[in-house]
């Protein structure tokens, strides 16, 4: 039947089998493209979920798998030239290695992208992680392919090992910042727009956590750029977590002769008036309170006026306004805010010396 078809078409057997082989390959690509579009449609229709993940995986694999199957069938069933069969078998092997490496890489990439979709803050990790995974599997596939072709890479590994040590030593600080940035992005002790303060007294809003450094914007509208390795080792106070609302204590000192009940009443009245006037940043709930803490000072009684403020930066206008109101209330109630005093006692020899000097 095939010989009759060759005579009918008036072509040589070599050309006929080449055309048949080409038709098989093109047909597999067309079928693969059709399946690709169909699976792509269903992956979009299913939305976010495991079904969408499975269809996305099959979508990318159907065309190369059909191509490999068609290539293998053609090489096994058609009487092709030996050189063509040899080259084709190498191509089949290379594509098989590619698919074997591509499948787990695609699964990991889809899982990482799914994590990024669920939590946008993870995109800084998932996006570079996707690139790293793809490069690692591509490198592994290339190594397997070359080894099976008889190309040994022992000398290359030795060279790369020595070079890697030299590069690691040269980029030690850079790599430290890089991995510290990964830690900050993964552990998330801080986030964008958080107001933080370090044990080295740098403080501000977190603008960006990069691969090498983290950028803070201070209240003075300046940037503080901190290496990630420094930030990872620092003791950080995050004033935006677990919530923006925070408590604040305003220290107030009065004379030992002051009426303690009057002091407490004046402080609470000043705070409640500020709340009624709508002082921005000062919260009514929970209500303010007064405590005799830290208590006994060298020349004054030290009170603490406790209140709730909306966020860390609101403490500054709240402090200023409340101090003005407290001074006014104290003056109306006759409550004294003493200055520190010191009593100097002189011994007799010093008194006699001063007396002689004054007489002279």
Query: What's the pLDDT score for residue 46?
Result: 65
- What are the phi and psi torsion angles at 78 (to 5°)? -100, 140
Phi-psi region of 10 (alpha: psi -120 to 50; beta: other; left: phi over 0): left
The CATH number of residue 157's host domain is 2.30.30.60
Task: Assess if residue 350 is contained within a domain.
Answer: no
pLDDT digit string, tens, across residues 281-321: 899 888 999 999 888 888 888 999 999 999 888 888 999 99
Does residue 339 lie in a domain region?
A: no
Q: Do residues 186 and 219 share a domain?
A: yes
262 shares a domain with 180: no
348 part of a folded domain: no
Contact 357, 285 (CB under 8 A): no
My answer on whether 11 and 124 are in the same domain is yes
In a domain, 165, yes or no: yes
Domain count, the chain: 3
Q: Which domain holds residue 296?
A: 246-333
Q: What is the pLDDT of residues 132-153, one digit of tens each?
A: 777 777 777 777 766 666 666 6
Of 219, 127, 255, 244, give the one whose Cα is nearest residue 182.
Answer: 127
- Which of the two residues, 60 and 121, has the higher pLDDT score? 60
45-66 pLDDT per residue, tens: 666 666 666 666 667 667 777 7
The percentage of the chain sitting over the pLDDT mark of 70, rounded to a whole number, equals: 65
């Amino acid at each position: 039947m095939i010989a009759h078809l060759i005579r009918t078409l008036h072509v040589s057997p070599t050309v006929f089998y080449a055309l048949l082989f080409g038709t098989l390959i093109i047909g597999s690509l067309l079928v693969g493209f059709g399946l690709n579009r169909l699976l792509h449609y269903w992956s979009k229709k299913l939305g976010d979920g495991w079904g969408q993940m499975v269809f996305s995986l099959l979508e990318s694999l159907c065309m190369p798998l059909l191509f490999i199957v068609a290539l293998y069938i053609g090489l096994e069933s058609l009487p092709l030239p030996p050189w063509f069969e040899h080259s084709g078998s190498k191509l089949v092997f290379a594509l098989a290695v590619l698919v074997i490496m591509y499948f787990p890489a695609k699964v990991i990439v889809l899982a990482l992208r799914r994590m990024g979709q669920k939590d946008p803050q993870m995109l800084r990790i998932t996006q570079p992680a996707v690139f790293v995974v793809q490069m690692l599997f591509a490198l592994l596939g290339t190594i397997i392919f070359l080894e099976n072709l008889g190309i040994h890479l022992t000398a290359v590994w030795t060279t790369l090992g020595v070079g890697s040590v030299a590069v690691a030593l040269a980029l030690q600080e850079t790599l430290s910042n890089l991995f510290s940035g990964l830690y900050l992005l993964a552990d998330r002790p801080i986030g964008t727009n958080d107001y933080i303060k370090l044990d080295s007294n740098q403080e501000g809003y977190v603008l960006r956590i990069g691969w090498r450094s983290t950028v803070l914007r201070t209240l003075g509208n300046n940037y503080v750029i901190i290496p990630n390795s420094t930030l990872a080792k620092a003791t950080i106070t995050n004033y935006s977590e677990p919530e923006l609302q925070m408590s604040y204590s305003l220290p107030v000192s009065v004379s030992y002769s002051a009426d303690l009940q009057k002091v407490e009443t004046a402080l609470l009245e000043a705070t409640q008036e500020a709340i009624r006037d709508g002082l921005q940043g000062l919260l009514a709930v929970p209500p303010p309170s007064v405590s005799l803490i830290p208590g006994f000072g060298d020349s004054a009684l030290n009170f603490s006026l406790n209140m709730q403020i909306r966020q860390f930066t609101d403490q500054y206008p709240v402090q200023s306004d409340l101090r003005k109101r407290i001074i006014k209330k104290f003056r109306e109630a006759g409550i004294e805010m003493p200055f520190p005093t010191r009593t100097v006692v002189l011994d007799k020899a010093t008194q006699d010396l001063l007396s002689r000097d004054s007489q002279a």
